[in-house]
């Protein structure tokens, strides 16, 4: 019998299932060629920009329109020197390079200046037109300020400022901050009352030393002579002042015996005697 155990088994080798791929070398020139064009283009642009910037600097360094004449409108409270100092304007500057908006903003920093208009006239002139604020009263809000005819609190009083204005009381800086709209309306009403007093009859603004405002009631005037209270309320000022003007001189004769005058009625005046 055959000894099958001694018969060696021969296994067939199976060829591996692989495909050999031949890799081609990477052609860097193919990718670098477009990049070189981009770099060259950027270099040309940078060089051109540098040339243009240098030309611009050279051109702007040459002042073709040098400022020679500065015209400033007539003012009462701000001097020409103060205006030019704030605006930073002086002869010799390049007229083309003056930033007129910035100059105007600097001039407006002076509290007396309400509006400013600046015009440039070639070849060598600048014109500055100033509108100043005009005080109509002094308002006591902790500090003493001027009040203009539009109801704007605009300047702290300093030594040498005029004091011959009626004094407005009853307002505060806290109210101006916490309720700016309501306070501004009340200040505008104050100016309306002041205007009425300037324009009406025998009872004139010179007879008033103080105008007191109360948020709940309205306005009370105090006369320059004797500090007599005259209650006006909050509206219809022309009619009320006209009624008082008719009898004011007669009432002044009786002033020592009068406690207050109340105008806050439609068709009458209440005179309260002591």
Tens-digit pLDDT profile for residues 212-230: 999 999 999 999 888 999 9
For residue 27, pLDDT beyond 90:
no
Nearest alpha carbon to residue 135 among 109, 177, 163, 99? 163
- In sequence order, which residues have a C-beta less than 8 Å from that of residue 114 and are 6 or more positions away? 131, 132, 133, 148
Q: How confident is the model at residue 56 (pLDDT cuts 50, 70, 90)?
A: low
């605006």: which residue's tokens? 87
Distance CA 274, CA 271 (A): 10
Is the omega angle on the peptide bond into residue 123 within 30 degrees of 0, that is, cis? yes
- 82 near 130, Cβ under 8 Å? no
What three-state secondary structure class fits 269? coil
User: pTM for the complete prediction?
Assistant: 0.73
Tens-digit pLDDT profile for residues 112-122: 999 999 999 99
Nearest alpha carbon to residue 136 among 92, 190, 176? 190
Give the chain's domains with CATH numbers. Answer: 69-132 (3.10.20.310), 135-273 (3.40.50.11690)
Cα four-point dihedral sign 144, 148, 154, 156: negative
User: What value does the CA radius of gyration of the chain take, rounded to a whole number of Å?
Assistant: 43
Distance CA 230, CA 221 (A): 5
pLDDT at 180: 95
Sheet order of strands, 113-121 included:
69-72, 125-132, 113-121
Least confident of 57-66, 93-102, 165-174: 57-66
End-to-end CA distance of the chain: 160
Tens-digit pLDDT profile for residues 162-195: 999 999 999 999 999 999 999 999 999 999 999 9
């Amino acid at each position: 019998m055959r000894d099958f155990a001694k018969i060696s088994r021969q296994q067939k080798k199976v060829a591996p299932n692989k495909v050999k791929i031949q890799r081609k070398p990477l052609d860097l020139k193919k990718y670098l060629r477009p990049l070189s064009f981009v770099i060259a283009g950027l270099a040309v642009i940078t060089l051109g920009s540098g040339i243009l910037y240098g030309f611009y600097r050279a051109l702007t360094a040459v002042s073709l329109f040098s400022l020679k004449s500065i015209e400033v409108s007539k003012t009462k409270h701000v001097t020409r020197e103060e205006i030019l100092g704030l605006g930073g304007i002086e002869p010799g500057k390049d007229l083309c390079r003056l930033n007129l908006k910035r100059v105007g903003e600097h001039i407006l920093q002076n509290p007396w200046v309400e509006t400013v208009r600046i015009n440039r006239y070639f070849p060598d002139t600048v014109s500055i037109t100033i509108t100043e604020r005009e005080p109509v009263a002094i308002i006591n809000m902790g500090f003493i300020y001027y009040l203009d005819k539009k109801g704007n609190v605009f300047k702290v009083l300093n030594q040498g400022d005029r004091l011959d204005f009626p004094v407005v009381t009853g307002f505060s800086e806290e109210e101006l901050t916490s309720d700016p709209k309501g306070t501004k309306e009340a200040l505008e009403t104050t100016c309306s009352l002041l205007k009425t007093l300037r324009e009406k009859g025998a009872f004139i603004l010179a007879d008033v030393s103080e105008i007191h405002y109360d948020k709940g009631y309205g306005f009370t005037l105090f006369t320059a002579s004797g500090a007599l209270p005259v209650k006006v309320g909050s509206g219809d000022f022309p009619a009320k002042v006209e009624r008082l003007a008719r009898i004011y001189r007669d009432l002044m004769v009786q002033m020592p015996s009068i406690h207050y005058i109340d105008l806050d009625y439609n068709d009458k005046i209440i005179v309260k005697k002591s």
